[in-house]
Structure 1
Amino acid sequence: MQGERRGARGWAADTGLFAFGVFSWLCIAGDRMRLGLPDPAWLFELDQVAGIVGLGLLWVRRRWPTQAAAVAVALSTFSETIAFPLLVLLFAVIVRRPPRTAAWVYAGALAAAGVYAWIRPQELGVLGNLGFAVVLYGAIAGWGMVTRYRRALRERAAEQEREERERARQRAREELARELHDLLGHRLSLLSLHAGAMEYRSDLSPEELASAAGVVREQSHLAMRDLREVIAVLRAPIGELPQPSMADLRALVEEARPGSEIAFASTAEGEAPERSGRTAYRIVQEALTNARKHAEGAPVAVTVSGGPGEGLEVEVANGPGREVDRPAERPGHGLIGLEERTALAGGRLEYGPREDGGWRVRAWLPWTA
């Protein structure tokens, strides 16, 4: 496994550790010469070489922490100048490697401490050297485990933040898809209805043809306008898209009336709050679009009622049309989107076929913002 990269901060930390390691090596070597050389005397020279190797291992611990620690553990069987590099390398293994690997290295360090106490018992004695190593290595292990845990918490928090950002992007994409569906689906269904009439109705009078062509031209212009508005704010938050309200319902129905028989009745007390009114508008818009697509020519009734304390009730019902292919068992994306919108607004949505073969969409929305 490749170790972590050494950035500017890493270089500064490693330089500081190396400098302190050199200081530690010089202090231990000076004390040994002052207190007396070990027996045999050549062990002192070998100890100094081991200390220099340990200083070099500090520079490779990020890339090969386990291998560097294993070498330091082996040298610690006889070397005292390896002490500081060994502690640093043990800490690196505990922090950066799996617990199983760290446990093996830690056990090896304790075994090496026992060998050192047997080879060089003159300082603290066998039990004293071994006990000192257990306490010191235990402190390093505890510190490393705490550091490892804190790193894991930071990484988990960063991962959760990335996941949350991805979920937010996904929600934004889904919201944008719903907005595009709502804005353009209504226009395009009107275009399809009147273009179909112009294509298949050979009995239309010139005035009727001109009227249908005028609706096609107007709806094409409005569709292009809506598309330009969406593109203009495509990189902006969804909340900046043009948002309708319940006050626009009558204009929506009037816009859909050419070529359709639509009855509209509203007994709502005053203007509904923004969120509920916008959701009601989208419900009526999608229901009218579906009525044109799946029940062409059928009469449609749009009813809105309610008020403060009661909530807002919206119902769109159409009779049977010439087509019988209606989304009874497997609702389309539009109805699924309406369910999500209604649930987010705190309301309920019901839809299904009527006894006469028509279709009904009914929703209740709270009278809240």
Structure 2
Amino acid sequence: MKDARGRDTLTPEYRWALPAVLLGDGGGSRPVRRSTRDWLVDIAVFLLACGVTLVTLDELRGVPAPLLLAEQVLGALACASVWLRRRWPVGLALVLTALSTFLELVGGASLVALFTVAVHRPFKVSGPIALLNVLTIPPYLLIRPQQELPPLEWGIVLGALLLTVYAWGIVVRARRQLIWSLRQRADAAAEQARQAERERIAREMHDVLAHRVSMLSLHAGALEFRPDAPAADIARAAGAIRANAHLALQDLRQVIGVLRHPGAGGDDPVPERPQPTLADLPSLVEECRQAGMDVRLEQRAAGAPDGLGRNVYRIVQEALTNARKHAEGEPVTVTVTGAPGEGLAAEVRNPLGDPLAHRHAPRLPGAGAGLIGLAERAELAGGRLEHGPTPEGQFVVRARLPWPRGTTGENT
């Protein structure tokens, strides 16, 4: 089975199990362990073949004793060979088809073999065998003429019987393939959902911890480069480090809790933890100011839905983190505007700064996935995100998300 990109989605377990389900063997000549249902089906098929053989036995009256003995022996062996139909369906069908050309008591087992081939082999294999069965009807009627019906009518009856059995097998095979396909698609969808959940949790962890760790690095750097700072400033920086470390551990514990219990939220895509909204932007900006950043907030939007406000909050948070990493000491302007029906726009702008001014200062390592994650977040919300330097020497992160008319959040 292929996905939308043309990649094979069958897992190794399914590739091994597919022959067992559709072909009746485990690959090659290795037999498959029969299930309870398989045993019941095989017993029923064996009894059916025996029943047809016993009914046909009445038609052998007047047959010479040697031929009657041969019929009985080969008929019994044919019924017993039905138990081999799962391992060698094609070979068994060919042998029984050849025997049924001139023997009466092999007919029941031959029908079972034809049905088995139709179920367990593709049309390019089962089709010629079905055609071979039909071609054996004229020689059979010449060798064993029937008294009840003319040869033409009896041939039509036998042909209809063979084609009915073969068509039944084709229908059973098609149904099994459909069930298998639906099961595989369900498993693939479940795996994609698990992958999406892991990516969502990773994105949430990055959004939360990147901000906290950058705050820790900023305060620790201040203590490192100003060891002679006043005691009050050192105490304030140490308190900020302790508070942000506590918050980082708390956020990490909550995200890991969601990872350990991924099904606790049901169909809700939002993690089970307190989530920021648009009303929390002033607190975020104030926290950055206390860390020494020069941030100006212009917020001309309120009452956005919680999910929309959370996306804008995360975008602004990541943009401030990047500004703190790459343009330390430069002023940052955050502008949030929007209204229902018009969309919600967020822009974070800061000068690029002089890279030589901080060439000796340690820089925070980054994975380079922050802006990529923000672009993905904006696309998932139905919006878009743009970022990059401007001719005026500034770096801008600009996002615009849809805000449907008539929708508001709790913080109105």
**Structure 1 residues 299 and 24, CA, compared in 2 at 3 Å: closer, same or farther?**
same
Provide the secondary structure at the position in 2 that maps to 1:263: strand
Q: Quote the Cα distance in structure 2 between the aligned partners of 1:252 and 1:310.
A: 25
Q: Quote the Cα distance in structure 2 between the aligned partners of 1:91 and 1:20.
A: 13
Provide the secondary structure at the position in 2 that maps to 1:364: strand
Where structure 2 has 5 or more consecutive residues not aligned to the other structure, the ranges are: 1-26, 359-366, 408-412
The residue that corresponds to 1:204 in the other structure is 229
The residue that corresponds to 1:295 in the other structure is 327
Out of 270, 276, 291, which is 1:239 matched to? Answer: 270
Q: Tell which deviates more after alignment, 283-292 or 58-67.
A: 58-67
Q: Quote the Cα distance in structure 1 between the aligned partners of 2:139 and 2:354.
A: 95
Q: Quote the Cα distance in structure 1 between the aligned partners of 2:239 and 2:355.
A: 26
> After the TM superposition, which residues 102-181 of structure 1 pair with which residues of structure 2 at under 5 Å, given as runs?
102-123=126-147, 127-128=152-153, 130-181=155-206
TM score, norm. by length of structure 2: 0.81
1:5 deviates by: 4.0
TM score, norm. by length of structure 1: 0.90
Identity value in percent: 45
The residue that corresponds to 1:328 in the other structure is none
Out of 280, 284, 294, which is 2:312 matched to? Answer: 280
The residue that corresponds to 2:85 in the other structure is 61
Q: Quote the Cα distance in structure 1 between the aligned partners of 2:31 and 2:134.
A: 25
Question: Do 1:96 and 1:148's aligned partners in 2 also have CA atoms closer than 8 Å?
Answer: yes
Write the letter of the residue equivalent to 1:239.
V
Which digits, 9 at most, give the CA deviation of each residue in 1:223-245, with x for residues without a partner?
A: 00101111222223452332221
Where structure 1 has 5 or more consecutive residues not aligned to the other structure, the ranges are: 326-330
The residue that corresponds to 2:17 in the other structure is none
Question: Do 2:120 and 2:173's aligned partners in 1 also have CA atoms closer than 8 Å?
Answer: yes
Q: Quote the Cα distance in structure 2 between the aligned partners of 1:179 and 1:171.
A: 12
Q: Quote the Cα distance in structure 2 between the aligned partners of 1:118 and 1:231.
A: 80
The residue that corresponds to 2:38 in the other structure is 10
Provide the secondary structure at the position in 1 that maps to 2:270: helix
Out of 334, 338, 351, which is 1:306 matched to? Answer: 338
Q: Tell which deviates more after alignment, 183-192 or 127-136.
A: 127-136
Q: Quote the Cα distance in structure 2 between the aligned partners of 1:323 and 1:295.
A: 8
Which digits, 9 at most, give the CA deviation of each residue in 1:125-171, with x for residues without a partner?
A: 65555443322212222222222222222221112111111111111
RMSD between superposed Cα atoms in Å: 2.3
1:182 deviates by: 0.7
**Structure 1 residues 46 and 52, CA, compared in 2 at 3 Å: closer, same or farther?**
same
1:310 deviates by: 2.1
Q: Which runs of 4+ in 1 moved over 6 A?
A: none
The residue that corresponds to 2:67 in the other structure is 43
The residue that corresponds to 1:82 in the other structure is 106
Provide the secondary structure at the position in 1 that maps to 2:376: helix
Provide the secondary structure at the position in 1 that maps to 2:347: strand
Q: Quote the Cα distance in structure 1 between the aligned partners of 2:328 and 2:66.
A: 103
Write the letter of the residue equivalent to 2:393.
G
1:97 deviates by: 0.8
Q: How many residues are paired up?
A: 359
Q: Quote the Cα distance in structure 2 between the aligned partners of 1:323 and 1:118.
A: 100
Question: Do 1:69 and 1:90's aligned partners in 2 also have CA atoms closer than 8 Å?
Answer: yes
Provide the secondary structure at the position in 2 that maps to 1:78: coil
